[in-house]
Amino acid sequence: MKFLRLSFAVAALAAFFTPARAADSTATLVLDATKPGPVINKNIYGQFSEHLGRCIYEGLWVGEDSKIPNTKGYRNDVIAALKELQVPVLRWPGGCFADEYHWRDGIGPRASRPAMINTHWGGVVENNHFGTHEFLDFCELMGIEPYVCVNVGSGTVQEEMEWIEYMTSDADSPLTRLRKQNGRAQPWKVHYVAVGNESWGCGGNMTAQFYADNYRRYNTFVKNYGANRIQRIAGGPSDFNYEWTETLMKSAAKQMNGLSLHYYTLPTGVWSAKGSATEFGEDQYIATLSRTLKMEELVTKHSAIMDKYDPQKKVGLVVDEWGTWYDKTPGSHDGFLEQQNTLRDALVAALNLHIFQAHADRVTMANIAQFINVLQAMILTDKETMILTPTYHVFEMFKPHQGATSLPIALTSPDYALGENKIPAVSASASRDAAGKIHISFANTDPNKPTTVACTLTGVTAKSVTGRVLTATAMNAHNTFAAPHTIEPAAFTGAKLENGSLSVTLPAKSVVMLELN
């Protein structure tokens, strides 16, 4: 078996090493804590909230008069669940919705706010009761950094400029007086602004050069007021559109702090028949994991283009839409993108987070789509009831990686194969937190058998190991409102630490997080 030594924490990915023989059920991992890598930006664990289906309304916002227990209109159960996740950053108001959203419609007394048709998502009426104040107050309540996407597709430069001033200026101006009239005396802190969304598609069907020129123009009027300093994120490519990245970096790299990337995982790879979220066999299980591992190729190749124009890595790669996308839940609204969330999704989450951490020198933010009731959600609600998904549990288990220093690992793995599909069975990532504790996360993609990982630890003085595991008997195991605890983390006893060596037996189709003490 061969393995590749890397300079930072890395997932075990097909593009990174030569896999072991299929018959070999043992993986090896070498961790060198004496050669720390870059810091894992906590914003890699970011979330995304769009005015889409029941993400905002009922998912997060129910209003102060709702019978559902709430604080200032925000669901108390959702507040508690999200606080447990330590969400670092939240993207809003879209998504495709952002490029038809006009911020002035969402301020002032709610009863007098004009309604609009949400043409992208179901043609439903949007009452604009959740607007700038509601979003930014929620972020402030939760200690979350807001990430605001401005309207380039159907908006104007003036509209964008005035919105930034309304949110962040402390000067005495008509816009700040309007903000105060609407109940907010002090400006908010808004450190992340996206200049448009998917401008190659729903955000305007622009060419790369046309958007690059517009980005430079719009960016000019994203002003810094007072002590507020804004990181500008340019609208980047969809999946394999490397020409878009080339054009944007060549034309506007010096004017941006980040470049976005969008990639969704479909079991079939066919948008018209994506596949079921819960009714699938092993063929679609491995196809989903195989396709999600394409994220490694995307991050690597887009990063290489960025390196040409930004060798000092001043521009971050911001993967602000990612996750699984299945056929809608039967019986749900056509435009609401509701789907269940299974153990398969938990593995998808772990694999992608490992990839982002492996590229911590370039990936500065990622925002899974979306945080409540839409696509690969953390939380599902049904009126007054709420459940947590397997993906939520992975984000919660991986919290110690947020803001920690990545540690280099060298990993070999047996294959997990079915038919023509073949992927590494094991993925892993390691980090050291501010308190000096080392955490190693694993994913075993093989749904049929456990894999033992023999770990060699250099520069580690741990005396004990503890851990948690997320797994289930069935690959499509998921939580329902009738059975909300079908799949959730449990204590892990499959790790043994002896004489500086660590042995870990990963159950089939599992995610494991270890802490070395």
Domain count, the chain: 2
Comparing C-alpha atoms, which of 150, 147, 71 is closest to residue 366? 147
Q: Which residues pair with 387 in a beta bridge?
A: 380
Whole-angstrom distance, CA of residue 331 vs CA of residue 338: 10
Structural domain including 459 reads: 14-39+406-516
Residues labelled catalytic: 198, 321
- Is 32 domain-assigned? yes
Q: Sign of dihedral through CA atoms 191, 88, 323, 404?
A: positive
Q: Which residues pair with 457 in a beta bridge?
A: 31
CB 404 within 8 A of CB 515: no
Same domain, 426 and 337: no
Same domain, 22 and 46: no
Same domain, 26 and 106: no
Same domain, 503 and 456: yes
Same domain, 283 and 424: no
Q: Which residues pair with 259 in a beta bridge?
A: 234, 317
Residue 378's domain is classified under what CATH number?
3.20.20.80
**Block means of pLDDT (10 residues each) for the chain, length 517 residues?**
36 36 72 96 98 97 97 98 98 97 98 95 95 98 98 98 98 97 98 98 97 98 97 97 98 98 97 97 98 98 98 98 97 95 98 98 98 98 97 98 97 96 97 96 97 95 94 98 98 92 96 97
Same domain, 438 and 307: no
CA of 487: how far to CAs of 256, 276, 384, 472, in Å? 42, 19, 21, 6
- Is 8 domain-assigned? no
> How high is the pLDDT of residue 137?
98
Same domain, 336 and 477: no
Same domain, 239 and 208: yes
- Is 113 domain-assigned? yes
Q: Report H helices in 150-279.
A: 157-168, 174-181, 208-220, 242-252
Whole-angstrom distance, CA of residue 82 vs CA of residue 37: 29
Tokens (6 digits) for 109: 């007394």
Asked which of 388, 419, 435 is the last residue of a domain, the reply is 388
> How high is the pLDDT of residue 14?
35
Same domain, 298 and 243: yes
| Amino acid in position 499 | N
CB 133 within 8 A of CB 103: no
Whole-angstrom distance, CA of residue 57 vs CA of residue 125: 12
Same domain, 248 and 383: yes
Asked which of 388, 414, 449 is the last residue of a domain, the reply is 388
Tokens (6 digits) for 454: 């023999």
Residue 480 half-sphere exposure, CB side, CA atoms within 13 Å? 6
Residue 445's domain is classified under what CATH number?
2.60.40.1180
- Is 298 domain-assigned? yes
Asked which of 388, 420, 450 is the last residue of a domain, the reply is 388
Which residues 6+ apart lie within 8 Å of 373 measured at CB?
A: 53, 54, 55, 58, 59, 336, 338, 379, 380, 381
- Is 104 domain-assigned? yes
- Is 204 domain-assigned? yes
Same domain, 382 and 503: no
Q: Sign of dihedral through CA atoms 71, 74, 78, 83?
A: negative
- Is 462 domain-assigned? yes
CA of 480: how far to CAs of 225, 330, 471, 485, in Å? 47, 15, 16, 8
Same domain, 440 and 365: no
Whole-angstrom distance, CA of residue 218 vs CA of residue 129: 27
- Is 396 domain-assigned? no
Whole-angstrom distance, CA of residue 350 vs CA of residue 428: 9
> How high is the pLDDT of residue 1?
34
> How high is the pLDDT of residue 501?
86
